[in-house]
Amino acid sequence: MMWRPLLRPAVPLLGVQKVQARAHSQVPPTRSKLRSRAMFAASTLLWMPVIIMFNELVAEVTWINGASMYPFFNADKDSTTRNDIVLNYKFKAQEGLRRGMIVTFWNPTNPESTAVKRIVGLEGDVVRTRSPFPESVVRVPEYHVWVQGDGSARDNLDSNTYGPVPIGLITGRVTHILYPFHKVGRVRWWEHMIKGQRQ
C-alpha cells in the first residue's frame, strides 16, 4: 500500500485559492469605480437645477467684453483674450439702484444680448448727454435710468444711442471683480466720479 501524504494536495489547492483570491480582489475596484462614477453622475444631476437656479436668480460669473467700460474694466482694451471677469449679482437687481453702480441689462436695441454700463442718472435726474444723442441735456423719466460706458463715445452704445433704459430691463449689478487677480475685490462704485449734471 502506497502512502500518500494527506497534506500534499493542499499545495495546489492553496495555489488555486491564491489565484482565485487575486482574481476576486480585482473585481471590487472595478465595481467601486463604476459605483463612484454613478454616484458622481447622480449627484451632478441633482445639483444641476440648483446651480441653474443660482445662476438665474442669485449671481453668476460674467466675462466683460469690449472697450465700453475702459479703463475700469478691460484695461488692455486691444486684447481679445484678457477680458475682466466679474460677479454679476442678480438677486433684487432692480432695487436700491444708485448713481455710479455698474449694472447689466437687456440691450434695448438687441433684446437677445445683454450689456454692462454705469448708471449716470436715476429717474428725475437731469443728465448732460454726449454724441450722438440729439439733445444736450435730458430728464430721466420715471422707472428709467440713464446708463453710460466709461470709455470714449466711439467705443460705446449706451443711453446716448438708445435713450433711457427701463428699470425692468436690468438683470444684475456688478459687485466684485474676480479677474485679473491684481484687481480682485469689491467694486467700489461709490468712489467713481459721475460725469454730467443732475438736479
Catalytic annotation, pick one of 117, 131, 152, 195: 117
187, 162 Cβ separation under 8 angstroms? no
Active site residue 68: yes
Catalytic annotation, pick one of 68, 77, 90, 131: 68
d(C-alpha 173, C-alpha 95), whole Å: 10
d(C-alpha 104, C-alpha 59), whole Å: 12
Closest C-alpha to 145, from 100, 188, 177, 175? 100
d(C-alpha 175, C-alpha 101), whole Å: 9
149, 117 Cβ separation under 8 angstroms? yes
d(C-alpha 83, C-alpha 62), whole Å: 10
Closest C-alpha to 193, from 36, 68, 72, 15? 72
d(C-alpha 2, C-alpha 82), whole Å: 89
Active site residue 113: no
Indicate which residues carry an active-site annotation: 68, 117
